[in-house]
Structure 1
């Protein structure tokens, strides 16, 4: 399942949301450990792992997370009107955590193995109703979704964007992230929502 023979160390950013490859992730950074992480990522042109919290909270103390997450890179940053640092990250490759630890500053670190990207897969005709509805929803949501490059014929892209914007419990989103086949993700999602129905 992994294309790496050995694990690599990355910093983790436990969140209450699931990030998919290609997806946008706007964040407001206020904890010192994450301000330092952002500074390091920008200086060294590296990223961080986004993992869904299984138990615990985003800010403050430790949080138990799921094992599968998405590597993110910062694509934009700015100082917010309230003085906090705002960043926009974009999802890259999926990974699986092999081993976890905490740095002295409280930052979560993990050895991870990269998960193989699914082979390119065209959107099956049974889901032909999804791209127009998805395009309208992304436009209506505004930035950063409205300016995303569209790939309406790519099953992985359609599945990822749907999962990101649908108001589903995080555990369903995590399940989709852990599925390797994008068409399987779409089939899992179909009973959870209805699009294009009056």
Structure 2
């Protein structure tokens, strides 16, 4: 009985990994954007490069939309194939899109000050890693726990540096998570 459950869980994990494999480029795109944003936050002390951060963000959004558009054929094939429990693969993006929209709204209405915005984004990313790690593998969960601890430390003692450190480490975490999924999907 125990062996059957483990085999069933391993089969589900492989199906989840194959569906998540299509989203790996998005992790690389947004990881690079977060790291670039951290570098610009550091360089902003010498020059006004805020426009470059906005350009990088818009570029990441456009690259993400292009990537999602190119995956629509794969999504259609997966919709006709046997489902692994998540439903349509595009639904994998829905929680992330909702979280991004919620954070953008909170920042737009002034509920989150610019000093705390990187902390909020890093907490959301850490929680996302833990949630995905529960389904796909412990290393992703550990990555999320590490990012959560770093965010808590930065939020309490080093808030002024949080934009640079948390965006940089969040970007590195996204790229590391994408690399893990890529290796596991082989």
Normalised to the residue count of structure 2, the TM-score between the two structures is 0.27
Looking at secondary structure, tell me which structure has more strand per residue: 1
Structure whose residues are more often helix by fraction: 2
Which has the larger Rg? 2
Q: Which has the higher contact order (CA 8 A, sep 6+)?
A: 2
TM-score (norm 1): 0.26
